[in-house]
């Protein structure tokens, strides 16, 4: 046997469905570590801070009993965090505060990792360059899934170690950290399938995140509406909830997400073998013969965001209809829980109108989601810039301020329309179930909430326009508003801290004397942020 024959035999033995995956994984891990690390740190901090804050904020048994009475059965908080089963221990509090949010973020981390390392590389052309070497067809998808697996396992290990280091229970912390890993595995599988279906990386991400969002909202609705216990098993996030970390510590439900992840991965590899490279199972439609809507910069901005806007607006209409159903049960819950009544009343309504105060809280949650949509639209301005699609536009007679204004109008108009759609759906269902609620009042409350959303969008405009390298400030504003609005009253934060949230200054339209001055200040501050963005965009260099 000659040396050539030996070499050929070695190649044949090495050849397989995952040829080239090992060196590609080593490179991908080094490149993607910086993208995964913030997610691991954020979710681990969410868990550890719950353990640390619990003993500090609720030092006595009376404080903890008061917390349990306040949060038990609160539908608005169950919608976001899941049921509060045991708030008398730090581990039970950690499971309630970090469990579902951590699972949501872990799923998002896995989705972005898989799409970034699979379809996004095909869109950019990097995948074609890599595939020109010795690389099997399934290796890139395998590497993308392994990156998500490594990130999810790293999240579980780091979260577990940090949580027990700050005082968390060994078993409960392990179960909670394992739910984060399980969520990452499931939604990595979802993203792998979506990457084969979607026509490009953006479509694949949208499909995956939509599945994650539907699972989260459906789980929240089931928990908040008092549905039968078996309905919890309808979603993967419900399976994670059934581990009951901090109370029963039941690990067996974790087998379900692992089995689902394996099935999804097998389906993804099967689909990959049946699609063309660079194409999805859903082929994109050919574009129109003429410029159409994109014949001017205003139409171009609308067209660039049209698909995501339509998806978001449908979601907001659905949220309004779903959340409106919760209003029918709030009366009975309030009757049995005076402490919860005080919390809801603190939102600005009088004690005689607690059902409307609950709707105000729901509108605040919807407003935070709407601000995510607005920030997403604004951040796309910079994404278009780094893809070198803005410079050719500005090379002609198009002014920078006009280009920026076209996108800002889409963001402001889209968020306003989203709030009105959600408020209309919320009011329609709530008024049909409770005659004391006026649909006009709910819609007007949704409208007066819009300036608070615009302020958060304005922060994004200021960041992208003036200092795009600090554009994460936009997300910081959304996260801070969420924490101050939803968790601030629970943690008894002082008024000056709660006042930082723009939603704190939204007047209640059913109050005897609404504070309209707060609304005016919101508009002024939002305008100032937008002015900073326009000034900075006019002066800074364009990539």
Whether 282 maps to a domain, the answer reads no
Q: How many CB atoms lie within 10 A of CB 139?
A: 22
Whether 303 maps to a domain, the answer reads yes
Mapping DSSP to helix (H, G, I), strand (E, B) and coil, where does residue 49 land? helix
Last residue of a domain, one of 216, 240, 274: 274
pLDDT of residue 384: 86
| Residues ≥6 apart with Cβ < 8 Å to 276 | none
| Residues ≥6 apart with Cβ < 8 Å to 333 | 73, 74, 75, 340
What percentage of the chain exceeds 90 in pLDDT? 44
Last residue of a domain, one of 213, 239, 274: 274
Examine the domain organization and report whether 109 and 206 are in the same domain. yes
φ and ψ at residue 389, rounded to 5 degrees: -105, -5
Examine the domain organization and report whether 123 and 210 are in the same domain. yes
Taking CA atoms, 122 is separated from 31, 113, 138, 144, 163, in Å, by 17, 14, 13, 12, 39
Return d(Cα 198, Cα 191) in angstroms, integer. 10
Return d(Cα 456, Cα 438) in angstroms, integer. 28
Last residue of a domain, one of 215, 242, 274: 274
Whether 284 maps to a domain, the answer reads no
User: Looking at the predicted structure, is the pLDDT value of residue 398 above 60?
Assistant: yes
pLDDT in tens, 39-68: 999 899 989 988 988 888 788 888 788 777
Q: Domain of 527?
A: 295-539
Examine the domain organization and report whether 303 and 398 are in the same domain. yes
Domain count within the chain: 2
Return d(Cα 41, Cα 365) in angstroms, integer. 25
Q: Between vectors from CA 479 to CA 338 and to CA 318, what angle results, nearest 5°? A: 70
Q: Which two tokens stand for residue 323?
A: 């959340």
pLDDT in tens, 121-139: 887 777 888 877 777 888 8
Examine the domain organization and report whether 24 and 144 are in the same domain. yes
pLDDT in tens, 487-497: 787 777 888 99
Return d(Cα 276, Cα 445) in angstroms, integer. 50
pLDDT class of 353 with cuts at 50, 70, 90: low
Examine the domain organization and report whether 185 and 300 are in the same domain. no
| Residues ≥6 apart with Cβ < 8 Å to 375 | 456, 457, 460, 474, 475, 477, 478
Q: At what angle do helices 297-336 and 201-225 cross, to 10 degrees?
A: 20
Return d(Cα 521, Cα 504) in angstroms, integer. 12
pLDDT class of 332 with cuts at 50, 70, 90: low
The burial of 401, by beta-carbon neighbours within 10 Å (0-12 exposed, 13-18 middle, 19 or more buried), is given as middle
Are residues 177 and 101 in contact, defined by beta-carbon separation less than 8 angstroms? no
Whether 11 maps to a domain, the answer reads no
Mean pLDDT score, 344-351: 48
pLDDT in tens, 355-384: 787 888 889 989 999 999 999 899 989 888
Return d(Cα 182, Cα 261) in angstroms, integer. 9
| Residues ≥6 apart with Cβ < 8 Å to 543 | 385, 386, 388, 390, 391
Examine the domain organization and report whether 262 and 343 are in the same domain. no
Whether 90 maps to a domain, the answer reads yes
Are residues 507 and 518 in contact, defined by beta-carbon separation less than 8 angstroms? yes
Please list, residue by residue across 222-231, b when 16 or more beta carbons sit within 10 angstroms of its beta carbon and e when fewer do.
bbbbeeeeee
The closest alpha carbon to 465, from 371, 374, 531, belongs to: 531
pLDDT of residue 329: 60
DSSP-derived letter for residue 284 is P
Examine the domain organization and report whether 146 and 190 are in the same domain. yes
pLDDT of residue 10: 54
Are residues 345 and 510 in contact, defined by beta-carbon separation less than 8 angstroms? no
The closest alpha carbon to 474, from 376, 363, 405, belongs to: 376
Examine the domain organization and report whether 375 and 304 are in the same domain. yes
Examine the domain organization and report whether 399 and 317 are in the same domain. yes
| Most confident residue range from 182-186, 229-233, 297-301, 327-331 | 182-186
User: Looking at the predicted structure, is the pLDDT value of residue 541 above 90?
Assistant: no
Examine the domain organization and report whether 247 and 312 are in the same domain. no
Instruction: For 8-114, list the strands marked E by DSSP.
Output: none
Return d(Cα 416, Cα 309) in angstroms, integer. 12
pLDDT in tens, 183-206: 999 999 999 999 999 888 888 888
φ and ψ at residue 299, rounded to 5 degrees: -70, -35
The burial of 283, by beta-carbon neighbours within 10 Å (0-12 exposed, 13-18 middle, 19 or more buried), is given as exposed
Whether 5 maps to a domain, the answer reads no
Whether 285 maps to a domain, the answer reads no
Are residues 487 and 420 in contact, defined by beta-carbon separation less than 8 angstroms? no
What percentage of the chain exceeds 70 in pLDDT? 90
Q: How many CB atoms lie within 10 A of CB 62?
A: 9
Q: At what angle do helices 170-197 and 139-165 cross, to 10 degrees?
A: 160
Whether 280 maps to a domain, the answer reads no
Examine the domain organization and report whether 236 and 342 are in the same domain. no
């Amino acid at each position: 046997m000659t040396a050539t024959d030996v070499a050929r035999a070695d190649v044949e033995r090495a050849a397989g469905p995952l040829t080239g995956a090992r060196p590609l994984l080593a490179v991908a891990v080094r490149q993607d570590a910086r993208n995964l690390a913030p997610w691991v740190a954020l979710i681990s901090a969410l868990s550890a801070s719950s353990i640390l804050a619990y003993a500090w904020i609720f030092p006595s048994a009376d404080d903890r009993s008061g917390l349990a009475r306040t949060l038990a059965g609160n539908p608005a908080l169950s919608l976001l965090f899941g049921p509060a089963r045991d708030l008398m221990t730090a581990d039970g509090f950690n499971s309630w505060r970090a469990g579902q949010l951590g699972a949501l973020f872990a799923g998002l981390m896995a989705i972005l990792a898989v799409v970034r390392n699979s379809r996004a590389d095909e869109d950019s052309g990097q995948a074609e360059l890599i595939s020109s070497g010795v690389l099997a067809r399934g290796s890139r998808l395998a590497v993308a899934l392994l990156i998500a697996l490594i990130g999810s396992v790293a999240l579980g290990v780091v979260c577990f170690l940090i949580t027990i280091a700050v005082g968390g229970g060994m078993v409960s912390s392990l179960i909670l950290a394992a739910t984060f890993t399980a969520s990452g595995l499931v939604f990595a599988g979802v993203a792998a399938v979506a990457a084969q279906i979607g026509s490009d990386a953006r479509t694949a991400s949208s499909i995956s995140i939509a599945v994650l969002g539907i699972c989260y909202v459906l789980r929240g609705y089931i928990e908040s509406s008092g549905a039968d216990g078996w309905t919890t098993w309808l979603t993967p996030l419900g399976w994670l909830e059934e581990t009951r970390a901090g109370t029963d510590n039941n690990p067996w439900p974790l087998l379900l997400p692992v089995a689902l992840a394996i099935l999804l991965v097998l389906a993804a590899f099967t689909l990959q073998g049946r699609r063309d490279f660079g194409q999805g199972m859903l082929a994109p439609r050919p574009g129109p013969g003429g410029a159409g809507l994109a014949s001017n910069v205003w139409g171009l901005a609308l067209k660039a965001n049209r698909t995501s806007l339509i998806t978001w607006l449908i979601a907001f209409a659905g949220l309004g209809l779903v959340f409106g159903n919760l209003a029918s049960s709030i009366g009975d819950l309030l009757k049995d829980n005076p402490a919860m009544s005080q919390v809801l009343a603190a939102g600005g309504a009088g004690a005689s109108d607690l059902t409307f105060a609950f709707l105000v809280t729901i509108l605040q949650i919807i407003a935070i989601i709407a601000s995510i949509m607005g920030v997403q639209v604004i951040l796309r301005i910079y994404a278009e810039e780094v893809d070198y699609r803005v410079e050719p536009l500005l090379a002609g007679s198009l002014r920078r301020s006009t280009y920026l204004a076209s996108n800002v109008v889409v963001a402001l108009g889209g968020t306003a329309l989203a709030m009105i759609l959600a408020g209309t759906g919320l009011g329609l269902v709530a008024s049909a179930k409770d005659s004391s609620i006026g649909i006009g009042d709910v819609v007007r409350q949704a409208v007066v909430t819009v300036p608070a959303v615009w302020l958060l969008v304005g922060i994004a405009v200021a960041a992208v326009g003036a200092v795009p390298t600090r554009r994460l400030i936009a997300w910081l504003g959304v996260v801070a508003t969420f924490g101050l609005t939803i968790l601030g009253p629970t943690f008894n934060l002082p008024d000056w801290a709660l006042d930082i949230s723009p939603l704190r200054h939204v007047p209640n339209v059913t109050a005897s004397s609404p504070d309209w001055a707060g609304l005016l200040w919101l508009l002024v501050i939002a305008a100032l942020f937008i002015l900073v963005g326009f000034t900075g965009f006019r002066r800074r260099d364009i990539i």
